[in-house]
Chains A and B, each alone.
Chain A
């Protein structure tokens, strides 16, 4: 009790000082000081605390482009949630390119961050270094709706050392690897891709393509990708150094780069590259896919897919895009962790943060506001019955003033509107996609690399050296693959695999997975 009081006192002093010096993002000193007092009460005895409005700080991402309406949207959000949960929120939108750096810094400082989006491997890195609060109790008490919506097994994928640190957003939680292609080119050249099902089939189509138009490349890409097969039909268990090849029917961690499947894959790529099926500058180009496709000399590329991907890819590449599913959809811890919400250790109001998060999964008005902006200004209803919306007259993807491409980051977009051009039942399709996906046996296991840091950094360097060249087919696997494997081994990949196996066995025993 005494310690708590001291902590409260320190906090109050700090708040007073910051109010005096006029710091803080809001700039409303008076209000800051008030919320400071409120906070002291809340931490002392939260039950009887008077419900005063608290100010939450939320961090999420954007990919650039005009976002001028953000302030208005923020206000509308506050007007809406204030009576519901007695809280206001500041939406801090950081450019994705700087996000990891910014998060890293914010977690070290004592800034208030109540709710934070986390992407990819960032989540486990942060959890491992003590940046996140455990959410199990908060979820049970204030976020029970989330548990119902996401399901226990999906939520368990964001556990780290037995504690839940993150809540995945409701979107495509599974991954299916696909080959996407421009259907107009396919039809024009008569390639027959619409009937292709496997890489072998695609290869035959490429043969025809190359005959008819030798300048056309079947696979596009650029140097920033780092590799072509970050994901395929294996569970990468965080980082691909030691994977579950068959999604873990035996829970045996194996060396991906020495597996038959991988060797076959890269040998095929080498063959394709030699024959000119793969964009010859793939390892050095800095041009983005939309620009590459604008040349009309690109047929397709590999990427993961979900029910909306044909539409979104078509919009992006400015031509009708269709896909061939090469790997059946599957769900693993890393596919789930691609985007999730966390409550960092420097949250001032974790309880309120969870209440807001709960709304982001259950309240369609709030979800629409966050995903699409203000009705009439950022979007208009095109078909009320089907909940279909689109740009107001005179606006398009270039001139929009609210970033509406980030629905998948805002909690549960599946209860919101659908965008013009998508199937009206795309949300149902997405749920079905997630539910029907195969589940990796290690779903729910997250690897803790702290015991093998030296090996991991060494392997990451070897990987960076060879992966792009080998996987894009520009290096001959007969010569370089043995070198790649050898250097990985001497960098300690076997040590990582052993450690992974050990942790996985422990996890399996604790969770009675067989």
Chain B
């Protein structure tokens, strides 16, 4: 029996190794083209390892458009605040929806779920946020709209609470007279670290990757996030070269970013997550202390 386990584990390593390779190879292409001169790229084609190193794109990124550091600051701030607030709200709601016998539970669940299928569309949302809440060109514009609470995460967390927290534990605690809020923070939450970490990660990635809020609500360049910087680069380029704008002054085309610059910006947007994520993973493997609570 031990043997089969071991065989299985080796198989797991092989498959995961292959999958990792499939992921890594295109990434090498990404990194290598960010270090390659445009002319080399066009003449000699893409390669997994750079043919001749060129730091031009990175030099430009750090010197010319020194905005990237400011943009990092914005991205970090927005991600941290947004994730903290969003995670708390999401988990609290998810737990409430998992409580057995809660009156109107089905109704509230439906209320939550419904938001995944219908939305008012961009214009009404924009009108509300700018006319009523006046968040345009404020940091709140990057934090509040659309990203904070996502019904999807609420439902995922809810099914975790329902399936993985034994109701016996909760009942025992309630009999002991622990208040619901204390019960949640002192018993449920410690037992749910994997899902809390997962949801936190997902909300965080949502913030990290987001550029639409910037596109809609931010025109002030001081509030640009890394993703918005990258997206605008690409959007400018596409808009400029489309036939629609064939009549515009070609001098503007001078400022178009080269492929290597676009790739370098993408690398810069991925790098921090690559560094932070492994630190974060201990919460996934912490395991569950169900037995301890039971005992």
A and B touch in the complex (CB under 8 A): yes
> Nearest residue in B to A18 (C-beta to C-beta)?
B134
Any chain B CB within 8 A of the CB of A398?
yes
> Nearest residue in A to B246 (C-beta to C-beta)?
A230
Q: Which of B15-23, B162-170, B179-187, B248-256 is the interface stretch?
A: B248-256
B240–A397 contact, CB under 8 A?
Answer: no
B245–A119 contact, CB under 8 A?
Answer: yes
> Nearest residue in B to A231 (C-beta to C-beta)?
B246
**How far, in angstroms, from A94 to B220 measured CA to CA in the complex?**
8
Q: Which of A309-317, A474-482, A483-491 is the interface stretch?
A: A309-317
Q: Which of A251-259, A289-297, A443-451 is the interface stretch?
A: A289-297
A405–B216 contact, CB under 8 A?
Answer: no
Contacts A96-B236, A97-B234, A108-B127 given; does A225 touch B253 at CB 8 Å: no
Q: What are the residues of chain B within 8 A of A102 when measuring CB–CB?
A: 215-216, 219
Any chain B CB within 8 A of the CB of A431?
no
- Among A18, A100, A119, A224: residue with most chain B CB under 10 A: A224
- Give 1 or 0 for each of A463-504: 1 = CB within 8 Å of chain B CB: 000000000000000000000000000000000000000000
**How far, in angstroms, from A151 to B42 measured CA to CA in the complex?**
47
**How far, in angstroms, from A222 to B215 measured CA to CA in the complex?**
25
**How far, in angstroms, from A97 to B233 measured CA to CA in the complex?**
8
Q: What are the residues of chain B within 8 A of A104 when measuring CB–CB?
A: 123
Chain A, range 156-215, C-beta contacts under 8 Å to B:
171, 175
B256–A92 contact, CB under 8 A?
Answer: no
Any chain B CB within 8 A of the CB of A415?
no
Chain B, range 239-284, C-beta contacts under 8 Å to A:
239-259
Q: What are the residues of chain B within 8 A of A121 when measuring CB–CB?
A: 244
Report B192 CB to chain A, min CB distance, Å. Answer: 38
B255–A101 contact, CB under 8 A?
Answer: no
A312–B249 contact, CB under 8 A?
Answer: yes
> Nearest residue in B to A286 (C-beta to C-beta)?
B259
B244–A120 contact, CB under 8 A?
Answer: yes
- Among B43, B242, B244: residue with most chain A CB under 10 A: B244
Q: Which of B41, B65, B247 contacts A335 (CB 8 A)?
A: B247
Any chain A CB within 8 A of the CB of B175?
no
> Nearest residue in A to B138 (C-beta to C-beta)?
A23
**How far, in angstroms, from A398 to B64 measured CA to CA in the complex?**
7
Any chain A CB within 8 A of the CB of B136?
yes
- Give 1 or 0 for each of A311-326: 1 = CB within 8 Å of chain B CB: 0110110000000000
Report A214 CB to chain B, min CB distance, Å. Answer: 14
Q: Which of A18, A297, A338, A405 contacts B255 (CB 8 A)?
A: A405
Any chain B CB within 8 A of the CB of A265?
no
**How far, in angstroms, from A335 to B247 measured CA to CA in the complex?**
7
Q: What are the residues of chain B within 8 A of A335 when measuring CB–CB?
A: 247
Any chain B CB within 8 A of the CB of A386?
no
Q: Which of B127, B130, B137, B253 contacts A288 (CB 8 A)?
A: B253
Q: Using C-beta atoms within 8 Å of the partner chain, give the interface range for chain B.
A: 35 or more
Contacts A101-B216, A408-B249 given; does A291 touch B38 at CB 8 Å: yes
Q: Which of A119, A290, A315, A397 contacts B248 (CB 8 A)?
A: A119
Q: Which of A59-67, A132-140, A142-150, A372-380 is the interface stretch?
A: A59-67
A288–B237 contact, CB under 8 A?
Answer: yes
Contacts A109-B127, A406-B252 given; does A295 touch B43 at CB 8 Å: yes
Any chain A CB within 8 A of the CB of B76?
no
B233–A227 contact, CB under 8 A?
Answer: no
B42–A105 contact, CB under 8 A?
Answer: no
Q: What are the residues of chain B within 8 A of A18 when measuring CB–CB?
A: 134
**How far, in angstroms, from A407 to B221 measured CA to CA in the complex?**
21
A295–B42 contact, CB under 8 A?
Answer: yes
- Give 1 or 0 for each of B120-162: 1 = CB within 8 Å of chain A CB: 0011001100110010110000000000000000000000000
> Nearest residue in B to A223 (C-beta to C-beta)?
B241
Report A336 CB to chain B, min CB distance, Å. Answer: 10
Report B237 CB to chain A, min CB distance, Å. Answer: 6
Q: What are the residues of chain A within 8 A of B43 when measuring CB–CB?
A: 295, 297
B236–A315 contact, CB under 8 A?
Answer: no
Any chain B CB within 8 A of the CB of A512?
no
Q: What are the residues of chain B within 8 A of A7 when measuring CB–CB?
A: none
Chain B, range 192-251, C-beta contacts under 8 Å to A:
215-216, 219, 221, 231-251
- Among B235, B238, B243, B259: residue with most chain A CB under 10 A: B243
> Nearest residue in B to A309 (C-beta to C-beta)?
B250
Any chain B CB within 8 A of the CB of A454?
no
Any chain A CB within 8 A of the CB of B4?
no
**How far, in angstroms, from A119 to B248 measured CA to CA in the complex?**
9
Any chain B CB within 8 A of the CB of A130?
no
Q: What are the residues of chain A within 8 A of B250 when measuring CB–CB?
A: 303, 309, 312-313, 316
Contacts A109-B127, A226-B242 given; does A97 touch B247 at CB 8 Å: no
**How far, in angstroms, from A313 to B43 measured CA to CA in the complex?**
23
- Give 1 or 0 for each of A270-301: 1 = CB within 8 Å of chain B CB: 00000000000000001111111011110000
**How far, in angstroms, from A184 to B183 measured CA to CA in the complex?**
79
Report A205 CB to chain B, min CB distance, Å. Answer: 22
A64–B245 contact, CB under 8 A?
Answer: no
Any chain B CB within 8 A of the CB of A50?
no
> Nearest residue in A to B245 (C-beta to C-beta)?
A120
Any chain A CB within 8 A of the CB of B39?
yes
Report B241 CB to chain A, min CB distance, Å. Answer: 4
**How far, in angstroms, from A171 to B247 measured CA to CA in the complex?**
11
**How far, in angstroms, from A240 to B237 measured CA to CA in the complex?**
24
**How far, in angstroms, from A253 to B6 measured CA to CA in the complex?**
77
Q: Which of A97, A222, A230 contacts B236 (CB 8 A)?
A: A97
Q: What are the residues of chain A within 8 A of B231 when measuring CB–CB?
A: 97
**How far, in angstroms, from A292 to B239 measured CA to CA in the complex?**
18
Q: Which of A98, A108, A171, A405 contacts B123 (CB 8 A)?
A: A108
Q: What are the residues of chain B within 8 A of A290 when measuring CB–CB?
A: 253-254, 256
**How far, in angstroms, from A114 to B255 measured CA to CA in the complex?**
29
Q: Which of B215, B242, B244, B251 contacts A316 (CB 8 A)?
A: B251
Any chain B CB within 8 A of the CB of A364?
no
**How far, in angstroms, from A120 to B240 measured CA to CA in the complex?**
12
B243–A405 contact, CB under 8 A?
Answer: no
> Nearest residue in B to A229 (C-beta to C-beta)?
B243
Q: What are the residues of chain B within 8 A of A108 when measuring CB–CB?
A: 123, 126-127
* The 9 nearest A-B residue pairs measured at CB: A97-B235, A23-B134, A230-B243, A97-B236, A224-B241, A338-B247, A288-B256, A312-B251, A226-B243
- Extra A-B contacts (14), CB below 8 Å, given A95-B236, A97-B238, A291-B258: A97-B240, A98-B215, A101-B216, A108-B127, A109-B126, A121-B244, A226-B244, A287-B42, A297-B42, A303-B246, A309-B250, A398-B64, A405-B251, A407-B249
A-B contact list, 22 entries, CB within 8 Å:
A63-B236, A63-B256, A64-B232, A96-B236, A96-B239, A97-B240, A98-B232, A108-B123, A109-B127, A226-B243, A287-B259, A288-B237, A291-B42, A295-B42, A295-B43, A297-B42, A304-B246, A304-B247, A315-B254, A338-B247, A398-B64, A405-B255
